[in-house]
Structure formats: structure tokens, C-alpha cells
Structure 1
Amino acid sequence: MYIGDSHWHLVLSDIAEVRNYFTNHKRELDNQYKKVAATSAARWIPDFMIQGLAPASEAELRAGLPPRAKIEKLVARFFNSLDPFVQILHHKTFHERLEAFFADPKSQSLAWVGLLYAALTLAMQSYSKVGDEPPEWKGRTSELAAEYRGRTVQALGACDYTRPNVYTVETLVLYVHAEYMTRLDVDFGLYLVVGTMVQIAMRMGYHRDASQFSSVSPYEAEMRRRVWLLIRQIDIIFSAQLTLPSLVKS
């Protein structure tokens, strides 16, 4: 298998200081690896565009959501985190749609439900990461996060992500981030998902300067800019770790 000169394994082998650091902090690193490994055991297949999950109907996806009180708790957890990926969703707008969903579940599309599942996934994962699991989810946060990741995938499939709508790109970005958080490093399967995400985002025009189009409001332009910024960040980090050229050409 080809490994470029910038691959982390080759770089580390030449840096004695870094090598010594990891030797001295081996116990701490081993504990971190065990935490990641515990979440990885229950994860869903990342390259769902190739292998896929069992399809789910719209009724199943809507019924699979937790009760309102738990949704509200997880959404609050999501927006109160310091995760930069939170910034691709507008707090007030998302809560307005969430309230509308509680009043009438059919008022929000299945695509939006998929986005909600993605937010619930990251919120649930944060409990395992920080180590402050609440009593009602004690010992189950990794399992529930994996379940919500799977539901996110199924919602994308049910909405046919190859014909993207207003929520497709945002859902994919949060999903990729959630999958990455379960790994010690980037794997090629997830990188294939990133490639699809980039192509869909470009198909939707996220790479264009939305402020130049009169049909796009300043709010929409700003939110699209935030999404594209994180897509570029994902592309650069993943490509560098796999020592491959960036998917987005500068």
C-alpha cells in the first residue's frame, strides 16, 4: 500500500521528541484508545453509499425518535457544547422547527428528521467523551449514539441523498463528524463518504459565494459559508492523514 512522505507514521519515526512524549504518556494514551475502541464496537458501517443499511420507512424513522423530554435534553446538550460543528445550525431557527415538530410531527420533512438524528448522535457521543453520562443513559450512551447514527444514514437513504435538498449537506457533515469521533484515525471507508459529501455540496453550490446571488438571503449565505468552511476543513484533515490530494481544488 502506498504511503506518502507526509504520512504520520513516517513523520513520527523521525521525531525523537514526539516519540519520547508518547512513551512517557503511554498509560494515558492506552486509556484514551480503550474509550475509542469501546465506541467503535457498536458503530455502523461508514461507507453506507456502497454497502448500506437495511432501509427504514418514514414511519419507522419518526417512531424511532426518543420522547420529547429526552430530545430537548439532547438538543440543549448539542447546542451548549464547544464543538465547532454546532455552528452550521442556527440555534433559534432549529428550535423553532423543533417546536413546530412537537406540535405537528408532519410539519417537518423526513430530511429534517435526519438532521435531528445527526444532532442527537453528537449530543449522545459527547457524554462518553466527557464522562458525565446522566443516570437514565448510564452505560448506554455509546450504544444509543450508534443507533442514532444508523437512523441518520437511513433517513439520508429514504430521502435519496443523490437528489439533495436543503438539509442533505448539513446532515452529511454532522454524520461524517460523528463517525470520525469514533475512530483513532481516518479510514478509507469514511474518506469515500467525505468524497460523496463534497460532490453533493458542490452540486448544491456551497462552494460558490452566495452573497453574489440576489435570490440568497444574507442569513442563508452566512449559513452556507459556515458549512463550506467545515467541509474544506474535513477535506484538508482527512486528505492529509491519508496522504492524498485534497478533494476540493483551490
Structure 2
Amino acid sequence: MPPGPELAAFTTVFRAADAHRVKRNRQPVSCTACQRRKTKCDRQKPCGACEKRSESAACRFGPPTGPAGRLEVQARLARLEEMVKDLATSGSKNPDVSGNLVKPGFGETLGPETLGDGTEADYHGATSWSALVESIRDIQNVLEAEEDMPPPPDEPADVALPDIFLGDMAPLTMKEVIGSLPSRPDADKLVTTYFNAKFLAVPFVHVHHFRRRYEAFWENPEATSFLWLSIMFSILSIGAMIAKVKGLVGPLLLSVAEPKFYMVRSAQCLITGQYLKAKAFSVEALMMFAHSRNVQKEDSDPTIWAFYGLTVRLAQRRGYHLDAVNVSTNITPFEAEMRRRTWFMIQSSDLLFSFQLGMPPMIYQEVCNADHPRNLIDDDFDEGTEVPPSRPPD
């Protein structure tokens, strides 16, 4: 049966809240005044917006209390309590001359001239005026108790979330990068040691291209991409591992740290360079990091398969699985050949680790049209030159 006209405005007052509604539980970083006005807050104490309005004293930071600030909520509750008291003492009905129920507007106080003769109820149930007044007082007591609690510590505005894949590693600054490197002569020896390792050097890092960027880094570190720095630290890590096995660390390489130290720096450079956004060098940097972890493990590490799996997705986002002509006309022949080398290594790693773990591979050949890399060494081609045909198989 539908409610009468006098109850239509109150049919949703006591309706239960939606149990499936997702509530926001994130701590605010703006002051309560800026939250209420929905204006930008610079998070100073007091903030610039409150200072411009000459309301520095009202600039407060705290947990969310709803659409309005805590002080405004308490003020509204106080006004609501007074209204409920007036209604409780004067009666709940106020007929006009025509016999209809006249409801006061929000914020209006019923004066003696507008009140009719009401009857007081002897029984006070759960929804009576006195019960409503007690409920309002309970809410006010809760708000006052929360005010006495110490405020939560302020969180920095630009806190980077931990990387769910590489772990909770702090981003690097360029000063920390430079401080982590060995001396220039020792770094040169580690790089040379890596590229001379026939079965450890990967083909998707071109030796001449890397050395040019390596020299540019030492001349102007600030202009270097963090993702390329991740590649460099992975190379230093493998070079340090080879030098450690040969007993060169210490007698000949005095400033070289442990291989794991450079590996951690490589991961931090990945996070600082935001590798998950599939930027330039992101695929090669993550592949190089996975390769450095793989070659330095005595036993097979099944987690490395996840690194190669993520590399597959990043490479697909950058179109490495497609022929360069189908991706962009701005890709040079050198870049196209290096993309083919990278994708070939990704396919090989995906098949190898999937077979090792008894899992299906992630790459489906039906959606790939990238050609195989040519049988060339790094001395056969470089930036600004044409890529020659493949060498004979022998």
C-alpha cells in the first residue's frame, strides 16, 4: 500500500544503507575548508587558500568526516537538536486552516503564533523525539571523543607506491646513481669484461651503440634515461660476477662492489624510470635485469619466468611482435633490427622457461609477424648505416 501524502517525505529517512556500497577509506591530504569548497589545497599549514580568505585559524587537517568539516557537522547537529526539542515540546502536528499538515522548512523555528494545540505522548519509543535527541547527543559525544584523539601523522604528498613486482624499493636520484658507480677505470673494465663474455652477452644490446651512450653518460649524467641506466647496472652486475669468479675483484678492481649491489641498483632504476609505462628502453632494461638475475642463480629460479612474462607484455605494448613497417615509419633500419633481436630473445626465453616449468607459453605465433633477426655481428651495422643481408650460416 503506498504511503499517504503526509508520510511521503519520510519514507526514505530510516531506510537501511546499501550493504554493497564501497566506502572510501583514504585519508585526505587537503584541509577541511578546501575539501568543503572543493578547491585546490597546497597542503601547507595554513594553506595558501585559507590565507587568501583570511581564515588561517580555520585551516585544519584531519580524517574525513563527510561532505562537511567536523566543526560544521557539530554546528548542524546542535541546530538539529534544538529543532527536535522544539518539535518535541510543541507536538508533531501543525494543521493549517484547511486541515492539512504544515511542515516547517529546514532551519526554521516554529514560533508560538504558528503552533496549534498539541497533545503530549506519554510513551516514548525508539523513534520518539526524546530518543532522537539522545541519538544526536551520542553523535556529538563521538565527534568530541575523536577530537581528543591525536591526529594521524602527515604523509608526504608524493609518496610513490611500492612496486608490486620488484618490491618496496625507493626510487633513485642521479646523485645516488653516481655515488653507486665504481671508479671510471674499474667501470670500463667491467663493461669490457661483459662484452668479451661470449655466452653471457645478449645480442639486443649493441656494443657500439651502448658505448656511445656510456661515454655520453660520463660527460652529462643528468641527461641520461634511468631505464638505460638500469641496462648499465645490469651489465656492471654481470661484469662484477665474472670478475669475482676470476678473482679480479680486490687486486685489480679495487672500487667494485658485490654483483648483487648493482643488481639492486638496476631494479631501482627500473622503478625510477617507470618501466611499466612501456617507455623507450623499458623492454630492454627489464630483459637485461631478468638476464642478470638468471645467470647469477646457481639453481633455476621460477620467479624469473614472471619477469620474462612481464617483458612479453611490455614488448607487445611497444609493438615488438610486429614488423617495424606495421608499427611506425619513423623506425630506422638499425632500430628495426634491434627490435627483431629483442623479440627473438623474448620468444626464446618464453619457450625455454615455459617448457622448464611445464606451463604454456605466453606468445602466440598467430598474432606475430616480426621477422627473425639477421645473422650479423655488431661490427656489420650501426646507427646511420644500412643493415646488410645475413651472413652465410657457416
Instruction: Sort the TM-score into its range (normalised by shorter chain).
Output: 0.7 to 0.9
Q: C-alpha distance in 2, partners of 1:133/1:114?
A: 25
The two structures have a TM-score, normalised by structure 2, of 0.47
Residues 53-98 of structure 1 show CA distances to partners (whole Å, capped at 9, x for unaligned) of 4313223233212221111111111111103643211111211111
Change (3 A) 1:118 1:242: same
> In structure 2, what is the equivalent of residue 105 of structure 1?
221
Structure 1 runs (4+) deviating above 6 angstroms are 137-143
Question: How many equivalent residue pairs?
Answer: 201
Q: With structure 1 as the length reference, what TM-score do the two structures score?
A: 0.73
Structure 1 residue 242: Cα displacement = 0.2
Return the structure number with greater relative CO, CA threshold 8 A, min gap 6: 1
Q: How much does 1:140 deviate?
A: 10
**Match 1:189 to one of 303, 308, 321:** 303
Match of 2:206 among 90, 93, 98: 90
Which of 132, 141, 163 is 2:246 aligned to? 132
CA distance in 2, matches of 1:203, 1:135: 40
Q: Give the conservation status (yes or no) of the 8 Å contact 1:186–1:238.
A: no
Are 1:234 and 2:341 matched, yes or no? no
Question: Which secondary structure state, in structure 1, belongs to the residue aligned with residue 250 of structure 2?
Answer: helix
The alignment yields a C-alpha RMSD, in angstroms, of: 2.5
Report the residue type matching 1:228 in the other structure: W
1:197-216 aligned within 5 A: 197-212=311-326, 213-216=328-331
AA aligned opposite 2:223:
S
Following TM superposition, by how much is the alpha carbon of 1:139 offset from its aligned partner in structure 2, in angstroms?
11
> Shift of the alpha carbon at 1:126?
2.2
Pick closer, same or farther for the CA change 1:198–1:139 going to 2, 3 Å.
same
Please state whether the residue corresponding to 1:61 is helix, strand or coil: helix
What is the match of residue 144 of structure 1? 258
Matched to 1:64, the amino acid is S
> What is the match of residue 76 of structure 2?
none
- Partners of 2:186 and 2:256 within 8 A in 1: no
Deviations 1:8-54 (A, max 9, x none): xxxxxxxxxxxxxxxxxxxxxxxxxxxxxxxxxxxxxxxx7436143
Secondary structure of 1:194 counterpart: helix
Give runs of aligned pairs for residues 6-155 of structure 1, distance below 5 A. 49-50=164-165, 52-58=167-173, 59-83=175-199, 85-128=201-244, 131-136=245-250, 144-155=258-269
In structure 2, how many angstroms separate the alpha carbons of the residues matched to 1:75 and 1:180?
18
Structure 2 stretches lacking a partner, 5+ long = 1-162, 366-394
Q: Which runs of 5+ in 1 are unaligned?
A: 1-47
Greater helix share, structure number: 1
Letter in 2 for 1:114: S
In 2, are the aligned partners of 1:124 and 1:145 still within 8 Å (CA)? yes
For 1:78, give the aligned amino acid: Y
Larger Rg over CA atoms: 2
CA–CA distance in structure 2, aligned partners of residues 139 and 73 of structure 1: 8
**Whole-angstrom CA distance in 2 between matches of 1:172 and 1:118:** 10
2:356 and 2:257 map into 1 onto residues whose CA distance is 28
- Matched residues in 2 for 1:120 and 1:174: separation? 11
User: 1:95/1:216 Cα in 2 relative to 1: closer, same or farther (>3 Å)?
Assistant: same
Matched-pair identity in %: 28
Gap change, CA 1:156 and 1:222, over 3 Å in 2: same
